[in-house]
Chains A and B, each alone.
Chain A
Amino acid sequence: MFRMRWRMVEHNAIWLLLGSGALAAAMFVPAFRDPENLANVMRQAAVLGVLAIGQTFVITAGMIDLSIGQIAGLVVVLSSAMINGDTAMTLPVVVLMLCVGAGIGLVNGILLNTLRLHPLILTLGMMSVIQGAIFTYTDRSIGRTSELLTTLANGSFLGIPLSAIAVALLVGAGHLALTRTRFGYHLVAAGGSPESARRAGISLSRIRLAVFVISGVTAALAGLLLAGRLGTGYPLAGNGLELDAIVAVVLGGTALSGGRGSVIRSIGGVLLLACISNLLNLLEVSAYLQMFIKGLIVILAILINQPRKGEA
């Protein structure tokens, strides 16, 4: 009975943490509960939210994708350079950028299946390749993004940020794909026990290919939102995003060992990180102390997320 209750608490830990933290912040920091500030938090969380959706699929399948930050960075640079302030170019460039993301994800998946490298090493290499490509193309900010992408990234509808609405739609689609489709069941099975999944007739190579394409596409979407936030193609825009996304996913309770994951709870992790960042800024906590506090939270989350005795 106690174990069942503990599991329930563990399962909803991110919401308990987010809810109690937000409630305390709203009580003691008046600026935090301001509706415009909360809209700010959602707007700031959108890029990471989109990245975390893709990373949840990858980690649940028992892998990891370190190239997503640089894919987003590449999309920021290319889309800004190609649109260069011309709104009419938005749609074709958005389609092209999604193809770029999907293409890089496909290459990751093919190389993983062919070379049998550890995904950490492979995507670390891909991260470096993309970063090199970005700097070969430009070593400085270029182009201007379109008004449309800027509005999507910074605008609101009835006080709700448009980017948050877009993320909510993606979360809904991601959640359904992971929990209500055959693909989702296969993915969880492959992540939990690859050998058993293979014996049950699940194609591990197809799963790998699919999750890296999903990850690439979400990274491209995040890059388009990021371009809207920045307004220009900054070559270092994607640096470090991959680690933030992994932290958010782990905070959401997705097991780094694979086989267990939730897109919705990953968004809880993203919102928690965004709230902490916003709150520390509002409390005028020094930047160095902010790093320290965030680091402690990450360590705590990983400790909570460790498999216990009796768990696979």
Chain B
Amino acid sequence: MTITRRLVLALAGISAAALMTTPVFADQAADAARTASAAEMVDTASFKKEGPLKVGVSAGYLANSWVVFALQHMRWEASLHPEVQDLIVTDASFNPAKQVSDIEDLLRQDIDLLIYWPVDDASVEDVLKRAVEAGVPTVQAGGGFSVSEGTVANAYISQYKLGEMVARQLMEDIGGKGKIVAMLPIAGTTAAVEQLDALEAVLAEFPEVELLSVEYGDWNRAKAKQITENLLQRFPSITGVYSPAGQMSLGMAEAFDEAGRSAEVTFSPGDEYNGWLKWVAANGQGGAVTFPTRAGQVALQVGLEILKGNPVPRGTAVPSEYVASADIGSLVSPDAPDDWWASDLPDAFLPQQ
């Protein structure tokens, strides 16, 4: 009994000490400051190198069709530059510790340029710093933007801006009032964090909109569907759905449809995931806010400029664009599978269907 009481007291003390250390989160102002720093020019003279070049790509994850398309864009760009002799790709499978090890292994292979998309920005900061100190320039590709000693430049799609565009379009479509649910990617990832921050910032302007629940569907259509089935049981009325990722929007739409409640809900735009684009074309609502897969290509273009010793901006934006449901025909590929992305890739570089 005494042991148990002491144990409870000890754990309570530990919990209290831990809770006193409150996490500090990013906000809209931080995003604005970060975006402003994108315009800064970076001197890259010290990274100048002649070919042949070996490019290392450290992927935080490859088990995602968007990433596969972004990587194909990178391969396409590499094929246009004969001096790029090798493109070595590693996959951290959502494990930040493995990504640190992967980058260490890539550095041991004498790469000339490192392109990466992180599982988590902060977790790879130290190893990236070591890469830059070793004379290997680093370019972040995709949805993150880092201003640190370890990241020379970014080819970025702002998750915050994307989230904000999606949220504002949803507010417009539901008339600025109602009850909404949010479906985000894997909890803890930069994408989930920034999309939620953006939604909360927009919601602050719409007091008549109630956020019923925030869920994490892990970029997984089946999981998003299952979660939505539970949400439909919990809430008798759902006016709108905030879901920037098309594959999860598709799972959610299926759940609403099967529950016979499609008529009550308005979907936010999703990205250019083909299954979602097909749904938008068939249902005439939702639209798309793009998350361009050519970010991979832009990252390599920026990296090659660095290796020429040319100054580059800290951030090269690959902007998201809103495509209304009426114009979705320009993006959708009716004959391609759902797990496919609207892109400019030539046939030779399209992933196998």
Contacts and interface: CB of A to CB of B under 8 A. Distances in A.
A110 interface: yes
Contacts of A107: 7, 11
A137 B18 contact: yes
B101 A284 contact: no
Interface residues of A, number: 50
B88 interface: yes
B109 interface: yes
Contacts of A202: none
Contacts of B173: none
B106 A140 contact: no
Interface in B1-47: 4, 7, 10-11, 14, 17-19, 21, 23-25
Interface stretch (A98-106, A189-197, A301-309): A98-106
B6 to A, nearest CB: 10
Given A139-B188, A143-B21, A281-B105, A287 B4 contact: no
A106 B6 CA distance: 12
Contacts of B101: 40, 44, 277-278
Interface stretch (B118-126, B231-239, B265-273, B295-303): B118-126
B97 interface: yes
A137 B105 contact: no
B112 interface: no
Nearest to B14: A100
A286 B193 CA distance: 30
Contact of B102 (A82, A230, A231, A281): A281
A236 B119 CA distance: 10
Counting chain B CB atoms within 10 Å of each CB, the highest count among A43, A107, A139, A232 belongs to A139
Given A36-B108, A44-B104, A137 B89 contact: no
Contacts of B18: 78, 81-82, 137
A208 interface: no
A230 to B, nearest CB: 4
B122 A141 contact: yes
B187 interface: yes
A137 B23 contact: yes
Interface residues of B, number: 44
A96 B104 CA distance: 31
Interface in A11-51: 31, 34, 36-37, 40, 43-44, 47
Contacts of A43: 104
B7 A140 contact: no
B343 interface: no
B91 interface: yes
Nearest to A107: B7
A265 interface: no
A286 B89 contact: yes
B192 A139 contact: yes
A188 B121 CA distance: 44
A234 B98 CA distance: 13
Given A99-B10, A103-B10, A226-B97, A234 B108 contact: no
B322 interface: no
A142 B121 CA distance: 11
Interface string B121-156: 111011000000000000000000000000000000
Given A107-B7, A234-B96, A291-B93, 15 more contacts: A78-B18, A99-B10, A135-B187, A139-B188, A141-B122, A141-B188, A231-B125, A231-B126, A234-B120, A236-B120, A236-B187, A237-B97, A277-B98, A277-B101, A287-B89
28 contacts: A31-B108, A31-B109, A40-B101, A40-B105, A43-B104, A81-B21, A82-B21, A96-B14, A96-B17, A103-B7, A103-B14, A107-B7, A135-B187, A135-B188, A137-B18, A139-B192, A140-B23, A141-B123, A154-B126, A226-B97, A236-B96, A236-B120, A236-B188, A237-B96, A239-B94, A282-B108, A282-B109, A288-B62
Interface of A: 31, 34, 36-37, 40, 43-44, 47, 78, 81-82, 84, 96, 99-100, 103, 106-107, 110, 135, 137-143, 150, 154, 226, 229-232, 234-237, 239-240, 277-278, 281-282, 284, 286-288, 290-291
The 9 closest A-B pairs by CB, nearest first: A287-B91, A232-B122, A281-B105, A230-B123, A142-B23, A141-B122, A44-B101, A231-B126, A235-B188
